[in-house]
Amino acid sequence: MESPLTCLQGVGPALAKKLEKLGLFCVEDLLFLLPLRYEDRTQLVKIGALVAGSRCLVTGEVLLAETVYRGRRNLLVRIGDGSGQLTLRFFYFSRQQQAQFQAGSSVTCFGEVRRGQAGFEMIHPEYRVLRENQDAATNDSLTPIYPATEGVQQGRLRNLTDQALRLMQKTPPAELLPANVTDRLGMPSLAEAIRYLHRPPPDADVQLLLQGRHPCQQRLAFEELLAHYLSLRQLRALAETEDAPALTGGETEVARFIGDLPFELTGAQKRVIDEIVADLSEPHPMMRLIQGDVGSGKTVVAAIACLKAIACGVQAAIMAPTEILAEQHWRHFADWFRPLGIEPAWLSGSQRAAARRESLRSITDGQAKLVVGTHALFQEGVEFDRLGLVIIDEQHRFGVHQRMALRDKGVSAEGHPHQLVMTATPIPRTLAMAAYADLDTSVIDELPPGRQPVSTIAVPDTRRSEIIERVRSACASGQQAYWVCPLIEESEVLDYQAAEASYQMLTNALPDLRVGLVHGRMRPAEKERGMQAFKEGLIQLLVATTVIEVGVDVPNASLMIIENAERMGLSQLHQLRGRVGRGALQSHCVLLYKPPLGRIAKERLAVLRDTNDGFIVAQRDLELRGPGELLGTRQTGLPDYRIANLVRDAELMPRVQMTAEAMRTASEKNAAAIVRRWLGDTRPYGKV
Ligand code: ADP
Ligand code: MG
């Protein structure tokens, strides 16, 4: 099974190269190249029984073939089988093809059934004209469709997997799961599962297969989840062997800082701080994730960790995903730390050259004890003197890759820096298990006292004027409000235009109010000026795009209107809503939507109306949208699973975790082999 692919018939060096690009190196790799879906060519479907949208194998007699011009040339072939008629439609065809379809000849074809002008049709079906007395050939098993494979045809892949499956009969792939697990879960054997999924028998439960819930799929999904989990745990184990500066001092400074805060820390904050302090005192890098709902007070926890590090003589760096958030942190930290004689340095991509040089110099010579910035912090040319602690805020924008890059960045003679990541997007437990197995987790599960849950309503935008009136009266009574504009898919320009339009509309409708505007296209300084004016109460109503999504903190703001709320994700809405409800006043959030609402959109808005608990919101978001959206994997490259699905297979995670922990001690070799089998020889998360 470890034999090279070139031992298979038809695989020369050129094809082997192509296959290598797909991550296929040996025969066993082919077995683990699993079909994405299946087509049913095991039986002929009567034309009269066709259903639109299905993909079927049909056979019939050519009744008529004609070329028509409907804007472009179409070849239409009508076939019938006694039960009904079907049109085959071709846009691209040769003269020979045209000539093949003689009236009276038999054709067998496979394609998607669509509703056309004159009954059902298939567009560009696969077809074969049958010779006289030749029967339409059906397949014995469902036809597997393999993942997109540039330059390698499906037919070729079927042929290669056929060969691999034949070889498998002689030498089945090693069963790497502990027998007690496969037995307890009643799993099919690995060879059985692989054979079944590559060539499901005609009586296979197609629906179960298509949903990915067949026991054979679950058998492999389990192993794949296990592979990813084990690989993250390997990474973690590696960190435990690495050195980091043990930060043990600084108690007095920290105690004084906490004593001087204008508020009492919550129990949850204290607990998490204790966990961090314990980690920092170890001579190995901390790798900890703090989860805490919006407004749970993560920033001050971060500040205390920084202070501890600085008091122990190392540098601390804090990184945020957006300029606006980074700058706000910088201001907060400056307010907190200046009295202690610590001046935080600032580093961002849009900084002027001179200021940047100055920051870089102080980072390098160690004068800057604390550095705040965006990801510019970790680009080329930034050299720390003695970086001991890295904090990443709003982790959901950063993934494993970035985490790893940061660890490498801070490497010095003393080892790796300690690492703390903070996220306001609570991750459901099973998902966190899969995604963050390399991190320890702390949860700030308590809000500061006196917070009132934000009361949320959903209102159709036909009632916009009512809502504007509401804004007017709230602001007239001294409160402040946000008006958040629709997010337009990934387009800053459109975002900005929409915000600009709302701004015009609101300034006209509310001539007595001081209205401000902040959007993503503004320069950071301009943005910050707008935010600052809002903070100081100079602006009463702030029109904003979703740039305010993360971290902005203005306690006097008690009303938020979100336009086109039906287009936004749940977690995002929850984040936005977290900008209000930070002061003593009862806060309100109005979700304006464009009617009519679909069922899912209705459900989503209802979730927000019914709960203020970020964990429940996240769980529902996961169910409604899938893990990619929630973790922001598009940007961060969380692995694509071949067969597992984190939502569908979430219930496997606790068992995966238990199995992994057992294997790590009892069968290290098998654990390593599983990782290699599913993730290849290359380390999945970059160099470590
Ligand atoms: P998040 O967890 O969303 O980042 P922040 O750290 O921005 O939350 O904190 C939100 C607000 O709550 C800030 O104004 C902060 O000063 C305040 N805060 C934090 N901890 C407490 C506390 N224990 N008691 C009262 N207010 C607190
Ligand atoms: Mg925050």
**Cβ atoms of residues 484 and 545 within 8 Å:** yes
Cα-trace Rg, the chain: 30
C-alpha 613 – ligand 1 centre gap (Å):
16
Predicted confidence at residue 634, as pLDDT, reads 39
Could you say which ligand is closest to the alpha carbon of residue 298? 1
Share of the chain above pLDDT 90, in %: 48
AA letter at 283: P
DSSP state of 118: T
> Of ligand 1's atoms, which has the minimum distance to the CA of residue 578?
3
DSSP helix/strand/coil, 104: coil
- DSSP code per residue over 634-677: HHH-PPPPSS--TTTTGGGHHHHHHHHHHHHHH-HHHHHHHHHH
AA letter at 480: Q
**Cβ atoms of residues 225 and 435 within 8 Å:** no
**Cβ atoms of residues 606 and 579 within 8 Å:** no
Burial class (CB in 10 A: 0-12, 13-18, 19+), 341: exposed
**Cβ atoms of residues 387 and 317 within 8 Å:** yes
- Decide whether any atom of ligand 1 lies within 6 Å of the 295 Cβ: yes
Q: Whose CA is nearest to atom 14 of ligand 1?
A: 553
Tens digit of each residue's pLDDT (9 = 90 or more) over 228-241: 999 888 888 888 89
Report residue 284: phi and psi, to 5°: -125, 150
Q: Which of 668, 642, 639 is nearest to 223 (CA)?
A: 642
C-alpha 121 – ligand 2 centre gap (Å):
56
Q: Which of 429, 305, 313 is nearest to 369 (CA)?
A: 313
Predicted confidence at residue 636, as pLDDT, reads 36
pLDDT over 80 at 676, yes or no: yes
Q: Confidence class of residue 151 from pLDDT cuts 50, 70 and 90? A: confident
- Decide whether any atom of ligand 1 lies within 6 Å of the 581 Cβ: no
Q: Looking at residues 586-605, what average pLDDT do you find?
A: 90
C-alpha 263 – ligand 1 centre gap (Å):
9
- Decide whether any atom of ligand 1 lies within 6 Å of the 265 Cβ: yes
Q: Whose CA is nearest to atom 19 of ligand 1?
A: 297
pLDDT over 80 at 407, yes or no: no
CA angle (539, 544, 545) in 5-degree steps:
170
- Pocket test residue of 269, 290, 291, 299 for ligand 1, highest count of atoms within 8 A of CB: 299
Higher pLDDT, 434 or 504: 504
pLDDT over 70 at 357, yes or no: yes
Between CA 36 and CA 157 the distance in angstroms is 13
C-alpha 266 – ligand 1 centre gap (Å):
10
Tens digit of each residue's pLDDT (9 = 90 or more) over 49-61: 999 888 899 999 9
Tens digit of each residue's pLDDT (9 = 90 or more) over 185-226: 888 999 999 999 999 987 888 778 878 889 999 999 999 999
Kind and range of the H or E element at 391?
Answer: strand 387-392
CA dihedral sign of residues 218, 220, 226, 231: negative
> Of ligand 1's atoms, which has the minimum distance to the CA of residue 582?
11
Task: Name all domains of the chain by residue range, CATH numbers in brackets.
Answer: 5-39+143-204 (no CATH), 47-129 (2.40.50.140), 247-444 (3.40.50.300), 455-611 (3.40.50.300)
Between CA 319 and CA 297 the distance in angstroms is 17
Most confidently modeled range among 213-222, 401-410, 415-424: 213-222
**Cβ atoms of residues 201 and 214 within 8 Å:** no
Residues in CB range of 185: below 8 A, 6 or more apart: 222, 655
Q: Looking at residues 261-277, what average pLDDT do you find?
A: 96
- Decide whether any atom of ligand 1 lies within 6 Å of the 292 Cβ: yes
C-alpha 578 – ligand 1 centre gap (Å):
11
Q: Looking at residues 268-282, what average pLDDT do you find?
A: 97
CA angle (191, 193, 194) in 5-degree steps:
65
Q: Confidence class of residue 400 from pLDDT cuts 50, 70 and 90? A: low
- Chain centroid to CA 543: how far? 28
C-alpha 320 – ligand 2 centre gap (Å):
9
- Decide whether any atom of ligand 1 lies within 6 Å of the 157 Cβ: no
Q: Which of 572, 570, 544 is nearest to 557 (CA)?
A: 544
For residue 74, what are the CA distances in angstroms to 106, 110, 366?
21, 19, 73
- Decide whether any atom of ligand 1 lies within 6 Å of the 294 Cβ: yes
Could you say which ligand is closest to the alpha carbon of residue 297? 1
> Of ligand 1's atoms, which has the minimum distance to the CA of residue 294?
3
C-alpha 448 – ligand 1 centre gap (Å):
7
> Of ligand 1's atoms, which has the minimum distance to the CA of residue 450?
25
Q: Which of 61, 63, 64, 59 is nearest to 108 (CA)?
A: 59
> Of ligand 1's atoms, which has the minimum distance to the CA of residue 264?
23
For residue 249, what are the CA distances in angstroms to 87, 314, 337, 463?
81, 11, 18, 59
- Decide whether any atom of ligand 1 lies within 6 Å of the 646 Cβ: no
**Helices (H), ranges, 212-266:** 215-241, 251-260
Q: Whose CA is nearest to atom 23 of ligand 1?
A: 265
Predicted confidence at residue 59, as pLDDT, reads 95
Between CA 188 and CA 194 the distance in angstroms is 10
**Helices (H), ranges, 410-491:** 429-435, 464-476
C-alpha 434 – ligand 1 centre gap (Å):
29
Q: Whose CA is nearest to atom 5 of ligand 1?
A: 297
pLDDT over 70 at 160, yes or no: yes
C-alpha 550 – ligand 2 centre gap (Å):
7
- Averaged pLDDT score across all residues of the chain: 87
Between CA 166 and CA 399 the distance in angstroms is 40
Higher pLDDT, 525 or 440: 440
Between CA 204 and CA 139 the distance in angstroms is 13
Most confidently modeled range among 55-64, 132-141, 573-582: 55-64
pTM above 0.85, yes or no: no
Q: Near ion ligand 2, which residues have CB within 5 Å? A: 551
Could you say which ligand is closest to the alpha carbon of residue 582? 1
Q: Confidence class of residue 436 from pLDDT cuts 50, 70 and 90? A: confident
Q: Confidence class of residue 466 from pLDDT cuts 50, 70 and 90? A: very high
pLDDT over 90 at 75, yes or no: yes
> Of ligand 1's atoms, which has the minimum distance to the CA of residue 266?
23
Tokens of 224: 């794949």
- Decide whether any atom of ligand 1 lies within 6 Å of the 448 Cβ: yes
Could you say which ligand is closest to the alpha carbon of residue 295? 1
Tokens of 582: 């930070």
- Decide whether any atom of ligand 1 lies within 6 Å of the 426 Cβ: no
AA letter at 199: R
AA letter at 456: T
- Decide whether any atom of ligand 1 lies within 6 Å of the 446 Cβ: no
AA letter at 360: L
Q: Which of 164, 126, 132, 159 is nearest to 144 (CA)?
A: 159
- Pocket test residue of 553, 571, 577, 579 for ligand 1, highest count of atoms within 8 A of CB: 553
Q: Whose CA is nearest to atom 1 of ligand 1?
A: 295
Q: What pairs with residue 22 in β-bridges? A: none
**Cβ atoms of residues 321 and 347 within 8 Å:** no
Q: Whose CA is nearest to atom 26 of ligand 1?
A: 448
Tens digit of each residue's pLDDT (9 = 90 or more) over 515-568: 999 887 787 778 878 888 999 999 999 998 876 655 567 889 999 999 989 888
Q: What pairs with residue 551 in β-bridges? A: none
> Of ligand 1's atoms, which has the minimum distance to the CA of residue 298?
2
Q: Confidence class of residue 632 from pLDDT cuts 50, 70 and 90? A: very low
- Chain centroid to CA 594: how far? 27
Between CA 385 and CA 637 the distance in angstroms is 30
Least confident of 61-70, 78-87, 246-255, 569-578: 569-578
H helices then E strands: how many in the chain? 25, 22
Between CA 392 and CA 413 the distance in angstroms is 23
Predicted confidence at residue 267, as pLDDT, reads 97
Predicted confidence at residue 684, as pLDDT, reads 42
- Decide whether any atom of ligand 1 lies within 6 Å of the 679 Cβ: no
Q: Whose CA is nearest to atom 16 of ligand 1?
A: 297
C-alpha 552 – ligand 2 centre gap (Å):
7
Q: Looking at residues 332-348, what average pLDDT do you find?
A: 92
Predicted confidence at residue 396, as pLDDT, reads 58
- DSSP code per residue over 149-176: -TT--HHHHHHHHHHHHHHHHHSPPP--
Most confidently modeled range among 22-31, 252-261, 615-624: 252-261
**Cβ atoms of residues 484 and 560 within 8 Å:** yes
Predicted confidence at residue 40, as pLDDT, reads 84
**Cβ atoms of residues 530 and 557 within 8 Å:** no
Describe the strand order of the beta sheet including 480-484 as a list of residue ranges. 455-460, 588-593, 557-562, 480-484, 541-544, 515-518
Between CA 555 and CA 536 the distance in angstroms is 11
C-alpha 290 – ligand 2 centre gap (Å):
11
- DSSP code per residue over 315-362: EEEEE-SSHHHHHHHHHHHHHHHGGGT---EEE-TT--HHHHHHHHHH
- Pocket test residue of 300, 322, 392, 535 for ligand 1, highest count of atoms within 8 A of CB: 300
For residue 602, what are the CA distances in angstroms to 231, 565, 589, 624?
39, 11, 16, 12
